[in-house]
Amino acid sequence: MNKMTEKLIKDTDENRKAKFNMVTMIIGFAIMLMGALCLFIKSISVEYVDKQGFPHENFSLIPMDYLFALAGLIVIITGEIIYLHHKH
């Protein structure tokens, strides 16, 4: 193989790694966006206490927000670690 062929193969491999990193980042941010959406829905939903004293609220959206944010952060960090590990 000549130098140009080796360079093209190396560039293609680097582009594939960069594309994988970009897709991983987009997925991570999309998961984090779902968490923010849960928090937004919780903030605009109607909360009230009925005549018997029972509260009516979407409390389950708060833990879901934290789980989505944590999962998105894990995906982003893991993708970056893999990208930096394979870059060298």
Please give the Cα distance from 40 to 6 (Å, whole number). Answer: 51
pLDDT per residue as tens digits for the range 7-64? 777 777 788 888 888 999 999 999 999 999 999 999 999 999 999 999 888 889 999 9
Task: Evaluate if residue 6 carries a pLDDT over 80.
Answer: no
Instruction: Determine if residue 53 is left, alpha or beta; phi over 0 gives left, psi from -120 to 50 gives alpha, anything else beta.
Output: left
DSSP SS3 for 48? strand
Does residue 86 have a pLDDT over 70?
yes
